[in-house]
Amino acid sequence: MSTPLNGSVLKAFSILGLFSKARPEITANTVASELGTNVATAHRFLLTLEAAGALVSYRRGCFALGGTIEELGRLAESVNPIATKVQPIINEVSRDIRESVMVCRLGRRGPTCIAVAVSDQPISVKVDVGTVLPIDVTAHGKLWLAHMSKPDQSNWLKDTTQDLKDALTKIKAQGFALNQGDNEPDLGAVAVPVYGDDGKLSMTISVFGMLSRFNAPLIERSVASLTHAAKAIGA
């Protein structure tokens, strides 16, 4: 898209992004040093977010996330019933396979993660809900591409090599896609389609984790478990 965005709004969300469990409160100085803005500007943004209800201040100069964010967060969860429905299903797959599992939908900017079950292993890979994945080098992305018409594929891809076309044909035939270090060098994933009532691809679901663990047995077990989960989600 070419529409110039609104810089102020982007800054405001950058400020909200500074909050974490380790940092439940921020000050204008926090914003200025972390985001490189002027202290006066930072202060003005904090007051604006407070006026909007996004932040609240109980101590002079200190700001915490406010009621508006909590309410919007609850609303976001409640009007997105899909995530609520799939969460227990992907939790089960994650326990079964002992790797992380995620579900994506195709947003305007690419496959977008809508639900995650992070593996309970001491060391595993995680991804944030809301993350937009590259469409050409991820298992999710390749599944979406495999289910598109050629014109739609061209809209998403700058140039489509013969290798990629062949790969997409194979993915459509075998019913799953692999990512073997294509996106991040040490990351592996296997994704399967979730079809809607209309027979169209509505979501994709994957097991993902460190590439070294994605041997043939894990891939086989993952495809089976994911396919079972996909049927449960699509019901």
Partner DNA sequence: CCTCCCAATCTCAATTTTTGAGATATTAAT
Partner DNA sequence: ATTAATATCTCAAAAATTGAGATTGGGAGG
> Phi, psi at residue 9, to the nearest 5°?
-65, -40
Whose tokens are 């790969």? That residue is 167
| Beta bridge partner(s), residue 56 | 64
The one among 8, 154, 161, 174 contacting a second copy by CB under 8 A: 8
137, interface contact from DNA, a second copy, none, CB < 5-8 Å by kind: none
> For residues 1 and 173, which CB has a smaller minimum distance to DNA in the complex?
1
How far apart CA 116 and CA 11 sit, in angstroms, is 27
The SS3 of residue 69 is helix
Q: Could you say which DSSP state residue 132 is in?
A: B
Of all helices (H) and strands (E), which one includes residue 209?
A: strand 201-210
Contact between 151 and a second copy (CB under 8 A)? no
Q: Draw the binding track, 169-198, toward a second copy (x: CB under 8 A; -: no contact).
A: ------------------------------
126, interface contact from a second copy, DNA, none, CB < 5-8 Å by kind: none
Which one of the spans 53-61, 111-119, 125-133, 204-212 is the region binding DNA (CB under 7 A)? Answer: 53-61
Helices (DSSP H) in 52-138: which residue ranges? 67-78, 81-97
Angle between helices 81-97 and 216-234 (to 10 degrees): 150
Q: Which amino acid is at 207?
A: V
Contact between 106 and a second copy (CB under 8 A)? yes
The one among 32, 34, 35, 66 contacting a second copy by CB under 8 A: 66
How far apart CA 62 and CA 26 sit, in angstroms, is 6
Contact between 150 and DNA (CB under 7 A)? no
196, interface contact from a second copy, DNA, none, CB < 5-8 Å by kind: none
Instruction: Quote the distance between the C-alpha of residue 64 and its chain's center.
Output: 25
How far apart CA 203 and CA 195 sit, in angstroms, is 7
The one among 61, 73, 107, 175 contacting DNA by CB under 7 A: 61
Contact between 154 and DNA (CB under 7 A)? no
Question: Which residues would be at the binding site for DNA (CB under 7 A)?
Answer: 1-9, 11, 27-29, 37-41, 43-47, 57, 59-62
Question: Which residues would be at the binding site for a second copy (CB under 8 A)?
Answer: 1, 3-6, 8-10, 12-13, 16-17, 19-21, 24, 43-45, 47-54, 56-58, 60, 64-80, 105-109, 112-114, 128-131
